[in-house]
């Protein structure tokens, strides 16, 4: 039995903060569906995503289908001390490793904050295309991200493009699932 082809996407493009604001509802709906969160999560995330747009090094990439619907979204910015994710990962690294791991990973990095593809558009390489476009020219000497533990398409994508373990089985405040923090040097290797 052959798998059904993934829905087509027509373009992948960088988005300005204003362009993302105009499509924020679509983007967060993709996030909620891809992560399996309850719909009420969108109300909490919208102000957070808007605040992220103001951080140094912020950049965003969207993927659109032939009807100009957003089907994939990725964004990130330069990570820094005092940011929630940075401090969570720092705490985890200190608990499981040492100061050297903190210095190695939590310095001069681009935080890949969100990368999501609408479930009906997954499986055709769109996630990798958004990832590569987002990280092409991203600031920082390395990139870090967190993803739920488990055999997922996202997990396979990150391994395929060379991400390595930084912190495993970590529980972020507010989410009961275990997460992995993965990282790698920038730039990505060519395909």
Q: Is 158 a catalytic residue?
A: yes
Q: Are 22 and 35 in contact (CB under 8 A)?
A: no
Query: Count of residues for the chain?
Result: 191
Judged by DSSP in three states, 16 sits in: coil
Contacts of 39 (CB under 8 A, 6+ apart): 32
The catalytically annotated residue of 31, 75, 77, 158 is 158
Contacts of 115 (CB under 8 A, 6+ apart): 73, 74, 127, 130, 131, 134, 145, 154
**What is the C-alpha separation between 57 and 47, in angstroms, rounded?**
19
Q: Which residues are catalytic?
A: 158
């Amino acid at each position: 039995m052959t798998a059904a082809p993934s829905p087509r996407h027509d373009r992948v493009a960088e988005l300005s903060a204003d362009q993302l604001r105009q499509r924020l509802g679509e983007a967060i709906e993709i996030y909620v569906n891809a992560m399996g969160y309850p719909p009420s999560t969108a109300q909490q995330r919208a102000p957070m995503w808007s605040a992220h747009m103001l951080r140094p090094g912020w950049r965003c990439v969207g993927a659109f289908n032939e009807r100009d619907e957003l089907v994939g979204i990725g964004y990130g910015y330069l990570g820094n001390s005092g940011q929630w994710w940075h401090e969570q990962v720092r705490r985890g690294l200190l608990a499981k490793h040492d100061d050297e791991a903190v210095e190695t990973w939590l310095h001069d990095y681009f935080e890949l904050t969100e990368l999501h593809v609408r479930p009906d558009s997954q499986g055709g390489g769109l996630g990798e295309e958004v990832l590569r476009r987002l990280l092409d020219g991203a600031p920082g000497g390395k990139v870090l991200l967190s993803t739920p533990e488990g055999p997922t398409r996202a997990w396979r994508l990150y391994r395929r493009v060379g991400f390595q373990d930084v912190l495993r089985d970590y529980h972020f405040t507010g989410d009961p699932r275990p997460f992995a923090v993965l990282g790698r040097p920038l730039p990505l290797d060519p395909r």
